[in-house]
Every structure is written in C-alpha cells, then in structure tokens.
Structure 1
C-alpha cells in the first residue's frame, strides 16, 4: 500500500503497530481454524481465535480510552468488535485478519462514543434510521432540486411515514433546545423565548381526582353525617351550632365528625 494513503486511513498506522506483536499460533493454523469455524461455527474454535487476537482490542482500547478515562468500557466494546470480526471474516478473500479486524473494532468504538453523545438514550435502530433519513434527504434534495417531503423520504426508504416522523423527532435528543431560545411572534413581530411558549403547571390538577373521590364519599354518607360535613366544612359553623341545628349534643356531633373524617382520609 502506498505511503501517501496512510494519512487517509488512520487505522493503518495502528494496524502496523499491531503487526509487531507475535501471535500465539501460526498463520497456517489460524487459517485452518477460520476455515473450520466457518463450517462448524463451533464456540470453542471462536474462543481460540478471539484469544489469539485479543491483543488488538487491548491496544485499541488504550489508544481510544485514555482521554475519557473509561478504558475498561472501551476494552469491552473492542472485544465485542473482535467477536463481530471473527464471525464475519472470510479467509478465502486473501487478506490478513488483522487488516479486517482493526477497522471493524475501531468502528465499534466510535459507534460507542457516538451513542454516548445523545442527551437521552435512543435505541440504536432509531439512531441508524435517523442517519439514513439525513442521507436520503441530501440525495433527494440534489435530485428534486428542493426539500423532499416526508412521504417522498418514506417512499425512497420503503418505510412508513410514521417511522420517519418518529426518527426525525428523536434528533431533538441529540441537539436539545435551550429554554432561552427566542422565536419571532406571528402577532406583533416581537421575539419570545421557548420558556414563554411553555404552559404553566396547574397546581389544582393533582387535586381533581381527590375532589371527585371526596364528592362520592360525601354522597355515600347518611343524611345526618352529610349535614354535619356540609355545615362544618362548607358553611363554616361550629360544632355547637351544628348540634343545635340537628337537635343533637355537641359530643355526638364531634363523635360523628371524627368517624366521617377518618373514613374519608382512609379512602383518600
């Protein structure tokens, strides 16, 4: 490979470093193992191949993990990439496994970092679809000489418009909008912030269910209990005044009131 291509292939320098390390088994043995693994898909063969090339994720994890201090996580991701490379490698194509595995592992590491940049965790399938949509939008813009419609993007990718809309909305998790972002008002031309456009929290909303339950409980009381509750808590009368109104003793009113309040509190 020409030396002038090296700057265009960053993984090539890493690959050359990897070639300095000696493998545990010879090239001929490795080739036989890959041929046999391709036929049998035996797990023990795969483990032997992974162990033989384990030095690759070790080196790559040190290279890409030291900046963020998550070497252990990067090593695990690199090992996962090595497993993918072993499963996908075709020995009949004639190139070395190191050449195939290195960019594959680096790709998994970069994908890991790219996924972590999302503010909200989005499923990998949606992230991939979002990238396909962006690529398709660019392609159709050049072809149609205008911004494509959602229906046109959906038709090009052969998926539903609903899937397109969901994937496009997920991009907000990657680029969150600031509450201080300003928009132009359609009415007077003045700018308003996103905070101004958001609704305020209704403090009474959480009491709606309790109020409805309270009404049902009051309706289930007998006539004397209902009169005591209405006179005490809706009319604001004292126990003495309520006792005189229903021709009962104040002690009786107090006892009934406590009984009713206990039942209502338990229901609430």
Structure 2
C-alpha cells in the first residue's frame, strides 16, 4: 500500500487538511467509482495512523510486517464504513476499528497462554462493543461505558482486558534495551533490593510479579507495560501518557520501589 504522491508519514496538520478535503469531495459526489477512488486516497493519506496503532502491539510474538498489514485492513474497513455526513472525525471512527482488527488477529493467531473460553468470548464482545460505541459516540468510549454496554462488572471487564497480555511472555532475564544489548539491565535485576540480594528466584518471580502488577494503578501498569514489554524509551512513554521524560524517570523509580516493597512483604 504505497503511493508516489502520498508519503507514509504526513505532518498532522497536513494529514488533517487533506483528509477533510477528501471527505468534502466524497460528500459532494454520488458517482460510486469516484467515491471508491476517494476512499483509496483517504486510506493512503491516513495509513501512517494505522502504522502507529500497529506499533503499540509489537513485541508480542507476531511479526511487525504482519501487524502493519492487519492494521491496513482495519483502516480500509473503517474508511469503507465511514459516513462523512454524520460529522464525526474519521480517525475517531477508524482507530477503534484498526485496534479491533489487531486484537482479533491476536485472539486468533497470537496466544502463548490461551485464557478460559468465557474470557475469549467476552473479549470478542468487548472488541465489537467498543467499535460500535466509538462509531455511535464519535469518540473512543471509556472503559465504564464499554462495561455498562456489555452488562458486566468492572472486575469482569478488567479480567478480560488483562488477558490481552497473554501473547508472548517476556523473560525477566531479557535485556531491556532495544536490540537486546547484553549489557542492559533486566527487569529482574531492577527488582533487586538495596542490599544487593535477589529476593526472588527466576521461577518464583514470574508467579509473584503478576498480583503486584495487577495492584498498580492503570497509568502505572501502562508505564510498566510500555517500558518492560514494548521496550519503549522514556521519551516515547512520556508522549504516550502526556508527561515529560524527567517525570517518566521519576515514575518508573517510584513504581519499582513500590513493587520491591510489595514483593518483600
């Protein structure tokens, strides 16, 4: 999906302007062949957004190229279903569809540890409901809105949501630095206490860490996931959660201190 006229990455303002111009032309024509051409151009203009969503799912056991192709499929579907006359922003409509396509792909192809069937079925409903609500509301729904629409408790919703992490378990001994630098620290090393004693064996750590991570707040869990599972830099994490790189460093130190305390009782 390439074009000599449309680079993969457009500046946000240019992408938004070109998208709106294409939507205006889409609204003003009833010729189906022309409308199809305009939809293809919309996909090309916004494919960088699909690639950005795909990058959030990297490092979970499915090849990056496959993730990008799945994200493109989601974008094509979203553009085909989008009604420009409803007045909603295209990307507000499209991003949940792209994300849903990716999570469906993981559900079907990416499990390393498959959760119980009831959780799998709830996840299927969760994807579909989140997409439907996004299209209806013109924005991404909150977790509470999705749970209410599903008629499930917050605990059931959280259980299904957490199970998306069962794709490609990461070793506590794996280097944290991108590229697998053997001199890089590992998550297990960062949990060693100030005396230098390792409070956990590698096998115990895998079991002990799960409830500690679950007990963290939503933002802290997000930081742990981005840093230790997706190998994101502090600058990338700051951009994701809306804080500075310095604040991310402090947050990571605080989170690790709290996890050490929990692990050591």
Would you say same fold, with TM above 0.5? no
> Aligning the two structures, in what range does the TM-score lie when normalised by the shorter sequence?
0.3 to 0.5
TM-score, length-scaled by structure 1? 0.35
If asked which structure has higher relative contact order (CA below 8 Å, sep 6+), I would say: 2
